[in-house]
Structures are given as structure tokens and as C-alpha cells.
Structure 1
Amino acid sequence: MTASTASVSADAAVQAPPRHAPFRQTLRVHSLADIRRIEALAPLAQAMPVRSTYEIMCNSAAAFGDKTALTFLRSADPADAPIRWSYRQLLAGIHQTANALHRLGVQPSDAVAVLLPGCLDYHLALWGGEAAAIVQPLNPLLSDEKLVALMRAAGARVLIAYGAEADAEMWSKALRIRSQVPSLTTLLRVPPLDEPASARPALPDGVQCFRALIEAQPSDRLLSGRDIQASDIAAYFHTGGTTGAPKLARHSHGAQVFTAWSSVQVQGLGPDDVTLNGYPLFHVAGVLPGALTALSAGVETVIPTTALMRNREVIRNYWKLVQTYRTTVLSAVPTVLAALANVPVDGADISSLRYARTGAAPLPPELSARYQQLFGLQVHESLGMTEMAGISTITPPGVVAPAGCVGFPLPFVQLRIVRLDASGNASDEDLPVGQPGMILFKSPNLFSGFVDPADNARAFTADGWLATGDLGFVDEQGRLHISGRSKDLIIRSGHNIDPKVIEDAVAAHPAVQLSAAVGAPDAYAGELPVLFVSLVPGQSASVQELLDFTAQRVDEAPARPRHLTILDALPMTNVGKIFKPDLRVLATRAVIAELAETQAREAGLATPPALDVQVQGERYVVAPATPTALPEAFRQGLAQALARLPVQAQWQDAPAALAPASAPAV
């Protein structure tokens, strides 16, 4: 027993949070006027008296008891028996997890890192971790280097990691990185669900079995006696961790509670609902508007295997799983929706579905139309972001809106649309209804800033509004429409081109599955629009056919794409968003190859030499793929052409030897 545990008084050990009712919808939302009516009924502190995620779990356990909270699918076979936890069992496990962390000496200001796949134990780590300290969910697909950087930035004291490799070598990563984080004192191994205690391996010093540790703890109370305040930090979520230095967003308990409460108000979720949550739980979408919202209202949440929606069998059997578990809510990112659109219902009864929602990226109009045609489902869009605890606007059930409309701001949320300044940042000039600009928010679920104060500089305007970087407009009904990100704008000779215009145009072609437009560097125009697509399985189309099809549907000539590339699959983030930085790299490599061909012709070479393009950060280094003597005219000409590009690109005479992950020869 630690000294801190020994000092807890008997009174503190039995302290419990005030009990409130679980969250329920106040009135059905069909319009912005309904949102305003909710705001007028009571001030937020009265409408939402709950202060912490721990209180949410206590309230739901008291209200729903033995009702199923979580259903875990061992496999994607609808006939397999699942594992179910009731609300009472979940709270017991949360108590045990929080108490185990407390006995390890973890304090409320400490970080507990989590490296797990989709599983029941993740919910113990999340909510038990927040009851004891600050949870830091980690993307297991990140490199060791990125994981170490994130944990160091958080000062993580404990790492809870999956005791098997799964599909991301989680246990090997945990063992490798634990010695590289100076603040880390304990590694907790989570045994795979069906691993018997007799098969658990011997663990090295500093490593303990998560399950054995929590099973020895009381399940009916918090030993710490902690009185969690709404302003206490509940979690660190990383954002931008796949492309640059880690940025850790701090979420308060109050912000997370507001996300759950407001999501229930707008969507009307309740104990009769069942949702299949396939979002990864290192991402805000799966944790807050997904899991916490459901658990706050008595919803049953189905976890579709440890691999979630990355499991191809889950995709293949999705509609049968809807039938088996009588799912009422479908929620997935557009790329997952596109994959499900290729799966025939094949006689499955999906009549239980009453609400379909998407977010994380704009919904192509063609995909929206396909869901109406194939499944009779209106896909409702929402807008969420890490900096607003996962949700900002929602299109409620029954509200029919065009693709790109992400619905109404949540109750008590303020929204502005402002003009972009010359640098593409938010100005202080508000724009009228219907005119697009940058979206700004003030909200009760606004994050508490980044862990590193230096990262806050561009996150907020001078008067405290969150500068989202998203572009959109508000219509006459008060609904927000989103078109993309300010950083995704293609700027051709000073002309701003919205990539969504191009993407929607080509997406109307029946053979196109997904599309993404980016700017390719150009010495004269700055950027030229280029287009990448993947095709519906079994369909075919030529590059020229798709270019002509797109050009006919893009009114402005400068926005018509110069090139189109058909890929087997577009690059994705680990949560299913199209990853445009990779496409910009592909576009830049294509430009470099084109410049090399031009210079080879001018230098009298029969064929352009094979080149190696290395990417280091934002810099491109171009060199011969093998040691070879090249004409001076070619070398000088290509060096000058590269220097004229609006990216950092340079020629070097010797073969490049910078990064181990070198680009393929062009």
C-alpha cells in the first residue's frame, strides 16, 4: 500500500458523487428554434448538473443496473456468442481500475497512457483512468518514436497495453518503448480476452498483469475519495501526431460531459437504442460522441472485434450484424460508408436502423444518394474535432439536408463565419448568411488548450474564439455547411479553388468510389488542381473519361483538374479519413518526373535518367538513382526548374542517402 493510500480517511473512502438521472432528450430537435428553446428552458449548470465522466457512469449504473452496456464480438460471425457487460458490471470495473491506479501511486494530475485495440478493457482504462487521473489514448499504429514523444510530452506514469501483437505489434511496442519514457513507472499488461490465467506469461520487473491487479481492488467505491471537478483535466488526445511534432489537447471532465449531454439532446438517444461503435477508441469520435454519449443514456454499444471496422469480415457481415443485434444507429466515417455501400444486404433485416450519422470528412453527394437508393437511409452529417471534445454540430434525426450540411450548432454553442485574411487565417470580419469563410466556435466543450502553450498560438483568435481551419457557411435555416479545410484550398494564381467542387464532380461518376483533389506545385501558377480516385470494385473507367466527366461538371475553368490518377486505394488515416498529405507528395513526385522528362529532352537524352526522390519533412531531395555521369545541361536545367517550384526541392549530384524510407524511383 502506498503512503497516499494509507492516508485516506474512512469518510473519504466511502464518498460518492451526487446522483442524477441519466441524460435524456429534453425535446425533439427539428430546427434551430428547437435548439434555442432548449437553451431557454434552464441555464446550462441546471440543465447539466453532472460534473465528471465518473458521475455519468454512476448515474447510468444506478438507472440501468443489469441492462447491457457493452457487447463485445469475438469474431464477425453473427452466430458467435458475444460477451456482454451490464452497466453495473462496467461501473464495478471502473472502480477497480481507478483503485488499482491509485494504489500504484497515480495522482489526479498524472497521465495514464493506453495502447489497446477495440476491447472491453479499453472502457475500464478510459473511464477508470479518468476517475483516477488523466487518460492518454494512443494510436497503436504510430511508430515507436511518435509514441515515445507523445508519452514524454504527457509525462505518462503508467502504460496500459495489450498483451498480444494484434495487428499493430502492441505488446512488442510497449516493451520497447517503456525504457524510453523517463516518467513511466509501471507497464500494465492486458491479457487477451480468452487467455486463461494459467497461460499468462511471466512478466519482467516493472510490468504487472492489469487483470490480476484490478481484480484485487474494491468494486463499490473510489478508495481515493476524489471529488472530481468539471474543470479537472480528464484526458489528453493527440492531434497531428502522424505528420509532425505531437500536439496534446487537454479535455476537461466538463467538456466531455457536455459532449455527451448535448449529443443526447440533439439525437434523442435512449435505452432502446443499440449502436455498433466501430471507431477506434484512441480517437475522440469513438470515445466521446460515440461511447460516452451512449453510456450516458443507457444505449447498448456493440464493439465489433478488436480490429473494429478495419476487420474486413466485419464489413462483409455488417448488415447481418445489424439484424442480429437490432442496431438502431449507424455511425461511420464516409470511407467506411463507401465500403459498406458495396456490401449487399442479401436478405438481412435492417429495419431496426432509425438513424445514420457520419462525420470526420465531407460526405460525397453521390454516396449520400446511394444510401437512399440501396438502403432507404438518409445519412445525417455532423462536425466534430479534437479541440471541441469530439462534436460541434449535428444534423438531428428526421432533418433532411443536402450533402455537406453538418447540421445545427449544439445547445449553448456559439458559431461565427469570418472572412479569411491574406494569409488564409481567420479575420475579424463576420460574413452574412450563405457566404463561405472560416468557421469559429465558442462552446462549453471547448478544449482546455494544448499541453504545450506554444501550440495554442494559432488555435484561438485574439478574442478567444476557436479558429477551426474548416471552411463553410450558414444557411437561412441556421444549418452549417462545410466544404473543407483552409489548408486544403488549392490556390492557383491567387484564385482559391475549393477541392470539394472537384471531388463532388468526379464522385458523380458511377465507377468512382472515393476521390480527393489536391494542389500540385507549379512554377507559374503556384498550384494546379490534380485529382486522385479509387474505383468501385468491379467497375472500370479510363483516366480521360473521368477527366472529361469532371470538366463537364466544374464550371470554373481554373478548377478543372490538370491530371487524374487512378489508385487501387486512397491513403487513409487510422480513423478512415483520406490523408491528403500523402497525395500531395504523390503529386509533387509526378511534377518532378515531368520536369526531368522535359530537361532530358532539352539535354538531348534519349530517355530521362532514373531518379531517387527523398522526402525529409517538407523538403524534396532529387538525385540520380545510381552513380552516373549526367550532362551538365540536364543537371543545371533540372536544378533550376526545381528551384522555381513553390516547394522546397533541390538537386544533388550524388545518389540521395537521407531517410531510410526513400521514395521509389521516378
Structure 2
Amino acid sequence: MNESVSDRNWVPNVPLNVLLSKAAHSHPGTRMHFHTQQGLTSVTTLELATAADRLARGLRAIGLRRGDVIAMQLPTQRETAVLYLAALEVGAVLVPIVHIYGPAEVGFILRQSRARFLCVPERWRGIDFLERVEALGNLPDLERVIVVGERTPQNGITLKEVEAISQHAKIKNESPPQPQDVCLLLYTSGTTAAPKGVQHTHQTVGAEWSIPFIDGPGPYLTPFPAGHIAGFNFLLRPFVTGTDMVFMDRWDAPLAAELIECYRVRLSGGTPFHLQGLLDAARHAGRDLSSLVTYGLGGTGVTPEHVALADSSGFAGTRAYGLTEHSTVSIGWRDNTFSERACTDGRVQPGSQVRIVDELDRDLPTGSEGEILTKGPELFVGYTDPSLNAIAFSPDGWFRTGDIGKLDSVNCLTITDRKKDIVIRGGENISSQEVERVLATHDAIRDVAVVAQHDAQYGEKVCAVVVLQSGAELDLAAVQRHFAQAGVARQKTPERLLIVDELPRTASGKVRKGDLRARANALKTSP
């Protein structure tokens, strides 16, 4: 077992609104540069905190209270940061939703979380979000939709109207948030068919922001959307660390290369997909990336070759490992040896603990592969569905990550495989069972299994292995139309279709997905 490498208590004793306000006044000049479809907005963290304090009064005036759930499906922009901060100030439970989710996923999240408020843009990148709101279905708990824009649905209100209300709202003695309160609810795809609600408190999030993570002074450019755990952390962590940030409202490799040159960005990170896209774009446009000193890699499919690619491009590549449930378990630093940076997923974070165990939860010797169990101050406090907690935690409180790995003698962790039945495409977790459930509703399909297929661009992509009904025909285009009609996010749509006579199964009837993955990865990359 790896013990915490530091005795320091990383758990803050104040709620996030207090932590962020103090940090904004300690680093008042920290700048956030938002590049969106509307153009550039540059603002300091102190200005954001001041705007959020005003907006919180407006949110209270329209009925938001401590403990209420407020969901937000917004791109990375100034308004998103202010809304996040204001919700934390009120003491609400914030539910960020990734922008790729369609009405099916968003409707499930809103019903499962019992959200009272929903925040969306009017339009974004050609998508009419008000049309999406109309397609969400029955939402008995939803009372108000706040729109960043001009139009609103029935019983909706614009963000500008809430801001106007805040100018005249009286400050009342409200129950303040407490450090142990749940403040963040994130839905992540895993082995279950439906997304799982991951609950974090002010303390678990505050610990994640307080533990060293950013490798030196900024500016830092991040590709992750605000609805993703990494994007959420990068949007608000800089208040605490005082790191200047550069944001885009969607990933655009040529723009990222341009911004790195323009702002002399020192730090960045992403998946191998982001790194390769950035380098290709910079090479094509002749962009100068010489200011970069570190590029942190995460997600599936990170190899020593990716770290070597970063190094050969003039900046140190590093690797890290984390989950929505435990944001950062291990991380590499640019002053580590190349072997540590390239061949491991970094050293276990201060405060965190890792065990490598066998199938009976017995600790394995250093260097042995087994399931990774974790503890730490930033570990989530449980799922919204209590039945999942019994499976996710050991009797003595260790979190079962579902990943396979090993620890070395200097506390470097290496992920070697995973037990969880998911596809990780471009850093996004996709539940195989969720995709299988949609496929099973197609009239032509008798049996189905979904596996990850290696992809040079995204790390993995969704491969559907199907058995057809007698006499039926099916092609990939028909499958993709079926997913579009089901309102499922495009990223979850199969990109490879494999038709077989029968699925391989164990003696107990379970599908041998390892065999299917091997078969899928042995195929040519064309669909």
C-alpha cells in the first residue's frame, strides 16, 4: 500500500465560496482569456468574483436556495464562470453537463438529480438549445430555465434579467453553505447503462484545488469543456493558484496553436488527440510553440511515444491519472526523469493513498499488477444511487477504480488495463452498456456487444459488434441514423460496425469482450 507522501492536511475548513473569494483578493490580477464564437473576453478573477457576488443575489431572488440543484449545460465562457461561482455562493448543488449531451442524456440527468434550475445558451455553434429544452420530456422538479441569450422557453428567464433583479434584490440572512455540504454533482459514464451521479463536497473540491497540480506559472491553455471534471477544475482552480488561463469554447487545434503563440503559453495539456492535433496545426501554419515548457497527458491511449513526441517538440511531456470520482490520483512533473514521465502515470499525489490488490482485496507486492484502490482528501463522498456505493467501495472505505495498474518503489503509478466496460473517446467516458441499450432497440439487431477499438486520433472509438435478425441487413450509416433519431450524443454513436454470426461467451453466458476487443483491433482502421 502506498501511504500519503505528505502529512499536511489538505482539506479546507471553509466552503468554496469563501476559499475562492479569499483567493481572488490574494491574486487580484490573475487573468482569464475566453475565446468564444462571440470573440475575446478578458477578465480578472477578482472581477469574476465581484460579478458572481452580485448575481448570487439575483439567483436567491428567483428562488435558488442552499441545497437546491442547478444544472448548467454551457460552453466555456465568462458567463459560465460567473454562474458557477454564484451557485457556489448560494450554497446550491452545481451540476455541470458536457455540451455534447443531447436531450436523452440531459433529460435523464435532470430527472435523476431533481434539478430545480437549468442554465443553457440560447444558441451555440449552430445548435438551438431551446429546441433541446423542448425535447427533454417530463421534468417534474424543474421550475426555471435561465438562458444566456435573448429568447426563453415557457417560464424561462434570461441571465440579463436575473442580473437586473440582482441590482435591487435585498440581502437577506440566508443559511450559508458548510464545508461538508455536497456542492458538485457530475454525471459520468461507467459500467452501468445510465450515467452515475458523482457527489463532491466543498471540502473534496477544495482539496483538489489546494494540492499541487499546475507545473509552474502560466499562462495555461486547456482544451477541456466546462461541463467536464477537468474543465470545471481548470475554470475555477486558477483562482486558488493564481494562474493566468486561456480558454476556448470548443477544441480548435489551429486556434490553440495561434493562442499559444499569441499569449506565450507555458503550460497546456489534454489527451493524445489534442497533442497531435496541436502539433499538426502548428506545423501547417508555422506557429511558434517555443513558449511551452510542459504538456500534461491524460485519458486512455497515452504511450511513452506520446511523451517522446512532446519532448522532441521542445517541451516536456508528462502523464497523469484521475477519475471524476478522484480527480487527480497521480501526476508527472517536468523535472522527473524521462522514464518516470514516459513509462508511468506519475507519482501518487500528496494526501492520496493507493493500494494494488488481487481479486480478494489482498495487497500485492510492489511492481505487481492488480486492481487500483484509492483514498484521499479529494475523493468523492458517494454516488447519488446508494446501491452503487456498495459495489464501488471496499468495506473499509477504499474506492475501487475499476482500473488495473502497478506501483513502483518511488510511488509512481502505471495504469496497465481496466476492468470497467467503457470506451474513452477523446477523454470522454462512454458506457458500453448505454450504447448497447440504444442498439438493442433497432429492429435488425438480435444481439449486440459494444467494445473499444483503438483509434490513432481519439485514443478509442465505439465499435458495435452485432448479430442480426434472420434475413435482416444493416450498415453503419443506418446505425448512425438510429442514434441521431434517439437523441444521443454524437460521440456515443458507433464508428465501426462488425457483424458476426454469434457473440463469444463464457460458460456462464457472459460475453467475452476481451476476444471482441482483440478482433476489433485486428481489423483495418477503415469502417
Corresponding position of 2:179? 230
Q: Which residue of 1 aligns with 2:115?
A: 156
Q: 1:472 maps to what in 2?
A: 405
Deviation at 1:87, TM superposition (A): 1.8
Q: Is the 8 A contact 1:69 1:295 kept in 2?
A: no
1:411 aligns with 2:350: yes
SS at match of 2:362: strand
Q: Specify the code of the residue in structure 1 equivalent to 2:143.
A: T
Q: 1:167 to 1:372 in 2, by over 3 A?
A: farther
Matched, 1:96 2:54: yes
Instruction: State the Cα distance separating 1:114 from its structure 2 match.
Output: 0.5
AA in 2 matched with 1:148: G
- Match among 326, 334, 354 for residue 293 of structure 2: 354
Aligned to 2:160: 211
Query: Secondary structure, in 3 states, of the residue corresponding to 2:371?
Result: strand
Q: 8 Å contact 1:405–1:479 — kept in the other structure? A: yes
Matched residue, 1:58: 21
SS of 2:59's equivalent in the other structure is helix
SS in 1 for 2:26: helix
Task: Give the 3 Å change call, closer, same or farther, for CA 403–643 of structure 1 in structure 2.
Answer: closer
Deviations along 1:148-170, whole A, 9 cap, x unmatched?
11111111001111011435442
Structure 1 residue 480: deviation in Å?
A: 0.6
325 and 54 in structure 1: CA distance in 2 versus 1, 3 angstrom threshold: same
Counterparts of 2:218 and 2:168 in 1: how far apart (Å)? 27
Counterpart amino acid of residue 180 in structure 1: N
8 Å CA contact 2:61, 2:165 repeated in 1: no
Name the structure 1 match of 2:32.
Answer: 70
C-alpha deviation, 1:484, in angstroms = 2.5
| Distance change >3 Å, CA 236–CA 49, structure 1 → 2 | closer
Distance 1:87 1:62 in 2: 9
Identify if the C-alpha distance between structure 1 residues 124 and 416 changes in structure 2 by more than 3 Å, giving closer, same or farther: same
Cα pair 1:362 1:484 within 8 Å, conserved: no
| Structure-1 separation of matches of 2:407 and 2:168 | 49
Change (3 A) 1:433 1:446: same
Query: Does 1:320 find its partner at 2:247?
Result: no
What secondary structure, in the 3-state scheme, does the structure 2 residue paired with 1:433 have? coil
1:445 and 2:378 correspond: yes
Among 227, 239, 246, which residue is 1:302 paired with? 246
Find the residue that maps to 1:429 and give its secondary structure: coil
Q: With CA pairs under 8 Å and 6+ residues apart, which has the higher RCO, 1 or 2?
A: 2
Equivalent residue number for residue 393 of structure 1? 330
TM-fit CA distance, 1:315: 0.3
Partner amino acid for 2:473?
L
Q: Which deviations, in whole Å up to 9, do the C-alpha atoms of 1:219-256 show, x marking residues without a partner?
A: 99975544322211111100118972231111101000
User: With structure 2 as the length reference, what TM-score do the two structures score?
Assistant: 0.78
Give the Å deviation of 1:455.
Answer: 1.8
Is 1:105 equivalent to 2:63 in the alignment?
yes
Quote the Cα distance in structure 2 between the aligned partners of 1:243 and 1:336: 28
Partner amino acid, structure 2, of 1:217: S
| Residue of structure 1 equivalent to 2:438 | none
After superposition, where does 1:229-378 map in structure 2 within 5 Å? 229-240=178-189, 244-262=193-211, 265-269=212-216, 272-288=217-233, 290-304=234-248, 306=249, 308-309=250-251, 314-345=252-283, 347-373=286-312, 375-378=313-316
Distance in 1 separating the partners of 2:118 and 2:213: 36
Structure 1 contact 328–354 (Cα < 8 Å) conserved: yes
Task: Specify the alignment match of 1:430 in structure 2.
Answer: 363
Q: Deviations over 1:468-507 (max 9, x none)?
A: 0111101121111112312369xxxxxxxxx99xxxxxxx
The aligned amino acid for 2:20 is M
Cα distance in 2 for residues equivalent to 1:613 and 1:87: 51
Match of 1:642 among 499, 502, 519: 502
Distance 1:406 1:534 in 2: 20
What letter matches 1:92 in structure 2? T
* CA separation of 1:84 and 1:643: change in aligned 2, threshold 3 A: closer
Preserved contact between residue 95 and residue 219 of structure 1 (Cα < 8 Å): no
Separation in 2, partners of 1:393, 1:292: 20
Residue 40 (structure 2) pairs with residue 82 (structure 1): yes
Q: Quick one: distance in 1 between partners of 2:504 and 2:348?
A: 45
Tell me by how many angstroms 1:404 deviates: 4.5
**Cα distance in 1 between the residues matched to 2:254 and 2:350:** 38
Deviation at 1:645, TM superposition (A): 4.6
**Separation in 2 of the partners of 1:48 and 1:454?**
27
- Counterpart residue identity of residue 348, structure 1: R
Distance across 2 between alignment mates of 1:292 and 1:610: 52
Provide the C-alpha distance between the structure 2 equivalents of 1:301 and 1:402, rounded to a whole number of angstroms: 24
| d(CA) in 2 for partners of 1:450, 1:218 | 38
Superimposed CA distance per residue, residues 618-655 of structure 1 (whole angstroms, 9 cap, x where no aligned partner)? xxxxxxxxxxxxxxxxxxxx99x638755789xxxxxx
- The answer to whether the 8 A contact 1:99-1:217 is kept is yes
RMSD (CA atoms): 3.5
Structure 2, unmatched stretches of 5+, are 425-431, 433-450, 477-498, 512-526
Deviation by residue 1:151-203 (Cα, 9 ceiling, x = unmatched)? 111110011110114354423212332x6211111111112xxxxxxxx34x4
- Decide whether aligned partners of structure 1 residues 63 and 106 sit closer, same or farther in structure 2, where only a CA change above 3 A counts: same
Percent identity, aligned pairs only, is: 22
Q: 1:61, 1:531 → 2: CA distance?
A: 43
For 2:81, the aligned partner's letter is: H
- Return the alpha-carbon distance in structure 2 between the equivalents of residues 83 and 136 of structure 1: 24
- CA separation of 1:222 and 1:353: change in aligned 2, threshold 3 A: farther
Say how many residue pairs are matched.
Answer: 459
> Does the residue aligned with 1:386 lie in a helix, a strand or coil?
coil
Matched residue type, 1:414: Q
Alignment check: 8 A CA contact 1:165 1:172 kept: no
Residues 221, 476 of structure 1: CA spacing in aligned structure 2 closer, same or farther, 3 A cutoff?
farther
Q: Is the 8 A contact 1:233 1:252 kept in 2?
A: yes
1:437 to 1:120, Cα distance in 2 relative to 1, 3 A? same
Corresponding residue for residue 101 of structure 2 = 142
Contact 1:68 1:84 in 2 (8 A): no
Amino acid at match of 2:155: G
Separation in structure 1 between the aligned mates of residue 322 and residue 53 of structure 2, nearest angstrom: 30
